[in-house]
Amino acid sequence: MIRFAGLARPHKSCHTSLLLKLRVKSRLSSTTPANAAQPKESVILRNLPTKWRPYFLLSRADKPIGSFLLFWPCAWSITLASSATQTTPTEMLKYIALFGTGSLIMRGAGCVINDLWDRKLDAAVERTKTRPLAAGDLTPTQAVGFLGLQLSAGLGILTQLNVYSILLGASSLSLVSIYPFMKRITYWPQAVLGLAFNWGALLGYSAIAGSCAWQTVLPLYTGAFCWTIVYDTIYAHQDKTDDVYAGIKSTALLFGEQTKPALTLFSGGFVGLMSVAGYAADATLPFYLLAPGGAAVHLAWQLRTVNLDNPTDCWAKFVSNSKLGGFIWLGTLADYLHRMGFFAVFF
């Protein structure tokens, strides 16, 4: 593996030795297989009709972490825009609910697109070989039909927004569509995911304000991009042994032994850019204490304690980012309440 400092991709000649090294580390660090890191079967899944279960699993409805990670940048942006425009709490919460529903639907649609592209690759990876398309529980035709229903529902939500936001939202579909292909051709698929997954940082602001205040949303979006690199690289470390064998590329393989230093840089970028976004939005003290401050503490804990050779711990740290996102939203909410006069006595 080439050292991270050069940002060069691993040589093909390194793959065999890397694979052996990863297998040895996996055995030494954990006796728990990768698929044991995943949550147990949910009560909802157990009570669904048998024919519905593959669709439920295909959309990852049993693992809501992805929907939360898609939603939080939307919520940050909506709340910052509401502070800037003095939007009423009722109106702000209406958009929070709308984007929350949209995040659930569109994250599911993204999973279907991903699995349609990756069904053969998924069959070669221990953690993903039981996914409905990889296991043959659904056909590609059935998945495409389900995707059509999801996209129709997503379009219904998008049309509730202003014209600027409708056009902005539609422009993200190309990124969503090409992401699964990126892991075949670049060691930076997480970068494409970051561009697609954080589009809500732009869209949420325009939904409230009618357009984007770029001095605020651009650092917010770029910071969220850095955050995605952090959590999805940790996520990718779950599968690194199988990924080498299957020819799947990721920043986990690119960074290798230098993952923690690399993610420390991206974490610093996230915290710094979040602070820039707050400054541009004229955010008040509660924002800085809870959002950049809380993010810095949580990310430091993640990177200090994560065992990148233990799939169970990688999954746990990945999931913990939902709490991080929620804590940042509390920072934007505290700023909103302060500017609306609720905290005048304290700040």
In this predicted structure, the answer to whether residue 201 has a pLDDT above a threshold of 60 is yes
Q: How many CA atoms lie within 13 A of 143 on its CB side?
A: 25
In this predicted structure, the answer to whether residue 179 has a pLDDT above a threshold of 90 is no
The predicted-structure confidence for 68-127, as pLDDT tens digits, reads as follows 999 999 999 999 999 999 999 999 999 999 999 999 999 999 999 988 988 887 887 788
- 298 in any annotated domain: yes
The predicted-structure confidence for 316-341, as pLDDT tens digits, reads as follows 999 999 999 999 999 999 999 999 88
- 29 in any annotated domain: no
The predicted-structure confidence for 157-171, as pLDDT tens digits, reads as follows 999 999 999 999 999
The predicted-structure confidence for 260-304, as pLDDT tens digits, reads as follows 999 999 999 999 999 999 999 999 999 999 999 999 999 999 999
- 21 in any annotated domain: no
Which amino acid would we find at residue 292?
A: P
Q: Which two tokens stand for residue 29?
A: 């660090």
Residue 231: predicted pLDDT: 98
The enclosing domain of 45 has a CATH number of 1.10.357.140
Please list, residue by residue across 332-344, b when 16 or more beta carbons sit within 10 angstroms of its beta carbon and e when fewer do: bbbbbbbbeeebe
Residue 225: predicted pLDDT: 98
Q: Please give the tally of structural domains in the chain.
A: 1
Q: How far apart are CA 275 and CA 283, in angstroms?
A: 9
- 179 in any annotated domain: yes
- 30 in any annotated domain: no
